[in-house]
Chains A and B, each alone.
Chain A
């Protein structure tokens, strides 16, 4: 099991209260794969430094989790398939 940090930028047109169930839905893969979601920190709407898909805002969310590498790979794949996800980044903070 490895420590991961995941950041997602979600579509700003999503409703505020629809955000956490959506993220929770994504994280189901981690829970089913024996991983552990440690912290979900939703920053809320934030201005992007440049436009992504013609959108100048995004809903940022940072998730700390512990999981097997292939589970995280699958999570990232599913995130990228979803239309309301603008961008994702997965990092391993302990490699620094």
Chain B
């Protein structure tokens, strides 16, 4: 079968820059859950489309959240 033509990567805009959120709260687990995989790993920037600064803020928030048992370090569901 022929390979599908190379897709042009769509340029994603960082959701935090768009919404003008400056502080990523570690208590907001519903928001942070969008940035972790179902295994509990932090999604890469190429997946989330965040800018450098906000990806870093998200990562810190997720890590803080994990320390307080709001998010899992790992989840072996499956």
Contacts and interface: CB of A to CB of B under 8 A. Distances in A.
Interface of A: 7, 9, 48-50, 52, 58, 60, 62, 87, 89, 91, 93, 96
B69 A96 contact: no
B68 A87 contact: yes
20 contacts: A9-B69, A48-B69, A49-B66, A49-B69, A49-B70, A49-B71, A49-B72, A49-B73, A50-B72, A60-B68, A62-B27, A87-B67, A87-B69, A89-B64, A89-B67, A89-B68, A91-B26, A91-B64, A96-B22, A96-B57
Contacts of B69: 9, 48-50, 52, 58, 87
SS class, residues of chain B in contact with chain A: loop
